[in-house]
Structure 1
Amino acid sequence: MSCVSAAWSQEQDFVRSFQRSFFTMRRMDCLPLAELEERLKNRKDSTLLQHILQQTVLHPLCHKYPPSVKYRRLFLAELIKKHEMTRTEPLDDLYDALGEVLRSEELEICHKNYFLLSGENIKLGENVAIISEGTTGLVTWEAALFFAEWAMENSEVFNCRSILELGSGTGLAGIIVCMTCAPKQYTFSDCHPSVLQQLRKNILNNGLLLNLDTWNPKDCEAELKNKNLSEENQRPKITVVGLEWSEVTQEQVAELQSDIIIATDVIYDPEVVLCLISALEKFLISNEKKERCSVVYLASTIRNPETYHRFKMELDGVGIGHQVITGPTSKVFPYNRATKIELLKIYNET
């Protein structure tokens, strides 16, 4: 590769880092702004800023699924600040974009877009407030990103399996599993009506079908060996259900019993821990027919070590086994890697 080609490739990667951070609404102090300032010192034109602008605020994806107005305003203000430190001509597109954002109304729902390595993007509508209508389920949390990276590295775990997700929230983890891991059936669940409504929209916005059995029920093992599966045959049957952990009935257990149960960032309050343990106990232990035994994969951001330790102790108390498993090695999504996140495999010991 020539020096010119190498330099161009590095610049493309640099712009891409801005794009991925912008579309996931990362904090301003997480953006490579210091590196941008250094790069601009050695430039005699505004092509780099123009390139960043085209791949973020002016990108077609931003027009259709935009980050919040507040975020776009802060982002453009930082670009303008860096541009004004240079001696290049004013970049009208920057100021025009800021003017358009300042005239925009902040809506209750904004969007985040997570890019896969394939170039595809996961589109998620989220509430601009961390807590809205008494729930945190209308935003995406880091453990979901952590779990999604692990799932893509271990897709064989989910191939041709039926999956139940507890506390699906905006649906990031489940949507990625459905799009990249070829499960047979996937059931999203949550307890809050507004979360369930937005969750359905997010599933449909990512080209997935709801309540349609499009899985080809032939021999799964034979299908998995066939590398030329049609997209239609790989599409799982997807359902969305309301599920209150403290009120799980035996009828629901029978109806929702799955090969795999997953949950992400659901351990944050002692009262919630007890409800979750009650639900897991019913799904893992109270299945009288023992037709199949579920295994649970649960990813948690450890914000309160005491609450997290209590969760493990409660599992031990009802005879549910658990072990920590190695997390993902690839870095697909932008999030704080210093955050302590743990992935548990949970199972019935009896």
Structure 2
Amino acid sequence: MQCCFRIFLTQDLAEVLVVLRESTQQLCHGTTGLSLWQASCDLANFLCRFVDLSNARVLELGAGCGLTGIAVARSFCNSLVSLSDYDPKVLEQLEFNVQENFGKVHSSVQVLNIDWTSFDIAQLLNAPDVVIAADVVYDSKILPALCGVLRSCLQTSQKSRAYVASTLRDPMTMRIFRENLDTHGLRISDEMQYQYETFTFLDGSKYKSTSSFPHSSTLEAPTLIFEIVAKQRI
């Protein structure tokens, strides 16, 4: 695998925030999880600017290179972050990127092997307060399994929530995602989009935000970010 490194700096450009290794090819070893995608950068930017995750237990689904989860762990004091994926090569790279940013001894970040099709909340030592996921809404066939995992995690607490980011490529897939959320007892409690360095919220308000996690892409499409909660809690 041919690799490159990306270095992301703090907003004041004074310190290195995240160092990330990724594949130079978007599809490598039969998976897209070895390269960095736009929605991951935009979700990291959103979470670090608008959501306080200090002291939160955070689970990232389909973590890929791990940018979003690593950025959260680096930005918020006492957060406990679990980066999860399924492909062996992706898990290997996740472990590498975690060590690159936190060293070999790191109690605040762990890497988990999670198969959405057989997920059980008992796999987790502690239920997450917040679930995050970026660029996982791309194939309608996997959406029932994804929403099943979200339901299992979000029904554990009144305050549990998820943030899912997806670059808008296929409106039909996005519609199927919304339908699957509904059939799995979940609802979108807030929604915003990010494009041209601007967040646009449901009420029409806009917030200019130059990202600390820039991503170069030939695709000109907005990233949609959903806040998701369970309709009913157990």
TM > 0.5 fold call: yes
2:3 is the alignment partner of 1:109: yes
> How much does 1:116 deviate?
2.8
Q: 2:125, 2:119 → 1: CA distance?
A: 11
Secondary structure at the residue paired with 1:206?
helix
> After the TM superposition, which residues 119-138 of structure 1 pair with which residues of structure 2 at under 5 Å, given as runs?
119=13, 120-121=15-16, 122-138=18-34
* 1:330 pairs with one of 200, 209, 228: 209
> How much does 1:277 deviate?
1.3
The AA in structure 1 aligned to 2:74 is M
String of CA shifts for 1:202-255, please: whole Å, max 9, x gaps.
11212356552xxxxxxxxxxxxxxxxxxxxxxxx2111100101102421x53
Q: 2:224, 2:192 → 1: CA distance?
A: 8
What is residue 179 of structure 2 aligned with on the other side? Answer: 313
Judged with a 3 Å threshold, the aligned counterparts in structure 2 of structure 1 residues 210 and 137 are, in CA distance, closer, same or farther, namely farther
Judged with a 3 Å threshold, the aligned counterparts in structure 2 of structure 1 residues 178 and 118 are, in CA distance, closer, same or farther, namely farther
String of CA shifts for 1:317-338, please: whole Å, max 9, x gaps.
1221113334553112333594
* 1:170 pairs with one of 65, 79, 93: 65
The AA in structure 1 aligned to 2:41 is L
Q: 1:134, 1:144 → 2: CA distance?
A: 20
> After the TM superposition, which residues 43-62 of structure 1 pair with which residues of structure 2 at under 5 Å, given as runs?
none
* 1:249 pairs with one of 108, 120, 126: 120
2:56 is the alignment partner of 1:161: yes
Secondary structure at the residue paired with 1:126?
strand
String of CA shifts for 1:101-140, please: whole Å, max 9, x gaps.
xxxxxx6222222233232332211112211121111011
Judged with a 3 Å threshold, the aligned counterparts in structure 2 of structure 1 residues 324 and 261 are, in CA distance, closer, same or farther, namely same
The AA in structure 2 aligned to 1:309 is R
Secondary structure at the residue paired with 1:124?
strand
Contact in 1 for aligned 2:98/2:109 (Cα 8 Å)? no
String of CA shifts for 1:147-173, please: whole Å, max 9, x gaps.
1111121242x0111111111110111
Contact in 1 for aligned 2:58/2:81 (Cα 8 Å)? yes
Contact in 2 for aligned 1:155/1:180 (Cα 8 Å)? no
What is residue 205 of structure 1 aligned with on the other side? Answer: 100
2:139 is the alignment partner of 1:297: no
Q: 1:209, 1:150 → 2: CA distance?
A: 28
What is residue 21 of structure 1 aligned with on the other side? Answer: none
Q: Which runs of 5+ in 1 are unaligned?
A: 1-106, 213-236
Secondary structure at the residue paired with 1:345?
strand
Secondary structure at the residue paired with 2:81?
strand
The AA in structure 2 aligned to 1:123 is V
2:118 is the alignment partner of 1:240: no
* 1:344 pairs with one of 213, 226, 234: 226
What is residue 203 of structure 2 aligned with on the other side? Answer: none
String of CA shifts for 1:271-320, please: whole Å, max 9, x gaps.
121220121122223x4xx5x65210111111111011101011111221
Q: What's the TM-score, normalizing by structure 2?
A: 0.83
What is residue 40 of structure 2 aligned with on the other side? Answer: 144
Q: 1:190, 1:114 → 2: CA distance?
A: 22
The AA in structure 1 aligned to 2:145 is C
The AA in structure 1 aligned to 2:29 is E
What is residue 271 of structure 1 aligned with on the other side? Answer: 141
The higher relative CO (CA closer than 8 Å, separation ≥ 6) is in 2
What is residue 195 of structure 1 aligned with on the other side? Answer: 90
Judged with a 3 Å threshold, the aligned counterparts in structure 2 of structure 1 residues 211 and 123 are, in CA distance, closer, same or farther, namely closer
Identical-pair percentage? 28
Task: Decide which structure has greater helix share.
Answer: 1
The AA in structure 1 aligned to 2:171 is P
Secondary structure at the residue paired with 1:255?
coil
Q: 1:307, 1:342 → 2: CA distance?
A: 13
The AA in structure 1 aligned to 2:42 is F
Q: 1:276, 1:320 → 2: CA distance?
A: 12
Judged with a 3 Å threshold, the aligned counterparts in structure 2 of structure 1 residues 305 and 322 are, in CA distance, closer, same or farther, namely same
The AA in structure 1 aligned to 2:25 is A
